[in-house]
Amino acid sequence: MSGADWLPEVPRHWAICPLGFRYEVQLGKMLNPDAAAGEHPAPYLRNTDVQWGRINTDDLPLMSFDAKERAKFALRAGDLLVCEGGDIGRAAEWKGELVECFYQKALHRVRPLRTTEVTRFFYFVLAAASWRGAFLAEGNRSTIVHLTAEKLRAMRFPFPPYQEQRAIADFLDRKTAAIDALIEKKELLLQVLAEKKVGAASMLALKGLRSDAPTKDSGIPSIGRVPAHWRVQRAKTQFREFTERAGDSDLELLTVSHITGITPRREKPDVTMFLAESAEANKVCRRDDLVVNTMWAWMGAAGVAPCDGMVSPSYNVYRLRHPHEVEPRFFDLLFRAPPFVAEMNRLSKGITASRLRLYPEALLNMRLMLPPKGEQTAILEAVERLTARDVVEARRLQQSVKLLREYRLAIITAAVTGQLDVTREAA
C-alpha cells in the first residue's frame, strides 16, 4: 500500500515519501500596509494569479521586499507555486516569465532540493492528487480551509527515478497539449453559439417583437429608441442590493461570465476568478437574483441566477423588489445585450479598461426598459424558439468538454501512479 489515502499502489521501485524529503516548501510574504508603501517595490503573485498550469503576469501589484526578503521570496525558473487557500493545491510552474518576481502568503513556493527531481512531473502529481481528493478535509467532502506548509511537507507523494519522472512529464506534456487543443476548439464553438444567442436575444430585448410599433427615445445613446408602450425607469425601482454572507453554508459556488451568464463553477474548472480563502466571505444569491461581476461588468459579465448559490465577495447581488410583476429571466437578456453592456461600460469607473468597476450606485441609477410582463414572456419564448437547435448543440459540446477533462485527469493519474507504462505508450 502507498500509505496515502488518495494514492493507489505504485511500482515497487518507486519511492513514496513526504514532500519535505524531496522539495523545499516556503510560504510567501504576508501583506501589510508598510510593505505596500516600502522603498523597494517589486511585482508579486497572488493566489488568483496562479491557475492550473498557467500564471498571470499582467498588471501585477507591487510590494516592497528588502534584501533579506528578496533572497527568501524570489522566484526562479523551475519553482512550483501551489495555492494555500481557495482552490487548495492548484499549481503552476514558474518559467521565469519576469526578470524579477515574488509571491505573497496565499501561495507556497515548492522548489526541488536536488537536481534529480522534475518539477513538471510533480505538477502533474498535484493535479492527480487534487482530482482524487487529497486536499479534502477528513470525514467530509469539503475542501480544507488552509494548506499549511507543515501539512504540505508531510503529505506523501510518489517519486519514481529521475529518468522516469522526465519520461512521464514529457509524455503528459504531449498528451495534455493534444487534449487541450481539442477542448479549446470545442469551447470556441460554444462561445460562437453563446454570442449568436446573445445577438438574437439583444434585438428582441431592446426593440420588441414588432418592428412597426411606435417608438420613443430611451434616454440611452447606445440603445436609442424603444417601443413607446414600454416603461423606462431607474434600476433602483426594480432592484435593491443584497449583501448576505454565506457563512458556513454549503451552497453551490457560482461564477458569472459575459459569454455564458451564471453557471456553477464546477463546470468551469479552468476559469480565472477570485477565490476567497474561506467560503464565509462569499455572498449568497437566490434564484432570480441579478448577479454582476463588478470587475467585468463593462464586458457584460452579468446574469440572473438560475438557482440558489453563493458567489465571490467581489461580485454584487441585486434582488427584485417586485418579483411577481416581471419575468426575472428577461433581465438576463437585457443585461447581456451589447448596447446595454455599452451603457454599463460608460458608467463604470477606473483608470484603465482592466480596472473598470461598475459600482452599485451607478447600476441602480441605470435606466431599464421594461415591456409589459406578458410581452416579456413572449420575448423569452421567441428567443427559445430561435436558439433551440443551438441550445441542443451547446449541451452536446459541454458534455464532450466535460468528458475530455475527465479523460485528461485520468491519463495524468494513471501516468503519475505507474498504472500506465509511458515507455510502451511512446513506442
What is the percent of the chain with per-residue pLDDT over 70, rounded to a whole number?
A: 91
Phi-psi region of 16 (alpha: psi -120 to 50; beta: other; left: phi over 0): beta
CA-closest candidate to residue 343, choices 324, 360, 362, 321: 362
The whole-number pLDDT of residue 267 equals: 65
For residue 296, pLDDT over 90 is answered with no
pLDDT tens for each residue of 382-393: 999 988 999 899
pLDDT tens for each residue of 231-259: 999 999 999 999 998 877 778 889 888 77
Q: Are 290 and 317 in contact (CB under 8 A)?
A: yes
CA-closest candidate to residue 27, choices 143, 82, 108, 81: 108
Over residues 185-199, the mean pLDDT reads 88
For residue 366, pLDDT over 90 is answered with yes
Number of Cβ within a 10 Å radius of residue 100? 10
Q: What is the dihedral of CA 272, 316, 107, 146, to 10 degrees?
A: -120
The whole-number pLDDT of residue 1 equals: 42
| Residues forming a β-bridge with 43 | 62
- Residue 23 DSSP symbol: E
Number of Cβ within a 10 Å radius of residue 393? 14
The whole-number pLDDT of residue 261 equals: 81
For residue 276, pLDDT over 80 is answered with no
Q: Where are the strands (E) in 58-106, listed by range?
A: 62-64, 80-83, 91-93, 102-103
The whole-number pLDDT of residue 248 equals: 76
- Cβ neighbours for 133, distance < 8 A, ≥ 6 positions apart: 5, 6, 141
For residue 65, pLDDT over 60 is answered with yes
For residue 298, pLDDT over 50 is answered with yes
For residue 143, pLDDT over 60 is answered with no
Question: Which grid coordinates are listed for 216?
Answer: 420613443
Among 12-26, 322-336, 410-424, the range of highest mean pLDDT = 12-26
Domain boundaries of the chain, sorted by first residue? 15-160, 188-384
For residue 274, pLDDT over 80 is answered with no
Q: Are 97 and 57 in contact (CB under 8 A)?
A: yes
Helices and strands (DSSP H and E) totals, the chain: 10, 23
What class, spelled out in words, does domain 188-384 have in CATH? alpha beta
For residue 332, pLDDT over 70 is answered with yes
The whole-number pLDDT of residue 137 equals: 61
Q: Degrees (nearest 5) of the Cα angle 237, 325, 200?
A: 90
- Cβ neighbours for 177, distance < 8 A, ≥ 6 positions apart: none
The whole-number pLDDT of residue 78 equals: 94
Q: Are 105 and 29 in contact (CB under 8 A)?
A: yes
Residue 260 or residue 24, greater confidence: 24
The whole-number pLDDT of residue 355 equals: 75
Q: How far is residue 391's CA from residue 395's CA, in Å, rounded to a whole number?
A: 6
Residue 94 or residue 255, greater confidence: 94
What class, spelled out in words, does domain 15-160 have in CATH? alpha beta
pLDDT tens for each residue of 21-61: 999 999 999 987 666 666 789 999 999 899 999 999 988 98
pLDDT tens for each residue of 396-425: 999 999 999 999 999 999 999 999 988 776
Q: How far is residue 323's CA from residue 340's CA, in Å, rounded to a whole number?
A: 21
For residue 370, pLDDT over 90 is answered with yes
The dihedral through the CA atoms of 245, 328, 396, 259 has a sign that is negative
H or E element that contains 67: helix 67-73
For residue 139, pLDDT over 50 is answered with no
Question: Which grid coordinates are listed for 87?
Answer: 482552490
Q: Do the domains spanning 15-160 and 188-384 agree at the CATH topology level?
A: yes
- Range scoring the smallest mean pLDDT among 144-148, 232-236, 265-269: 265-269
| Residues forming a β-bridge with 245 | 283
* Averaged pLDDT of the chain: 88
| Residues forming a β-bridge with 108 | 27, 82
| pTM, entire model | 0.76
Q: How far is residue 194's CA from residue 245's CA, in Å, rounded to a whole number?
A: 31
pLDDT band at 277, cuts 50/70/90? very low
- Range scoring the smallest mean pLDDT among 70-79, 151-160, 205-214: 205-214
Q: How far is residue 284's CA from residue 236's CA, in Å, rounded to a whole number?
A: 20
Chain-centre distance for alpha carbon 137: 22
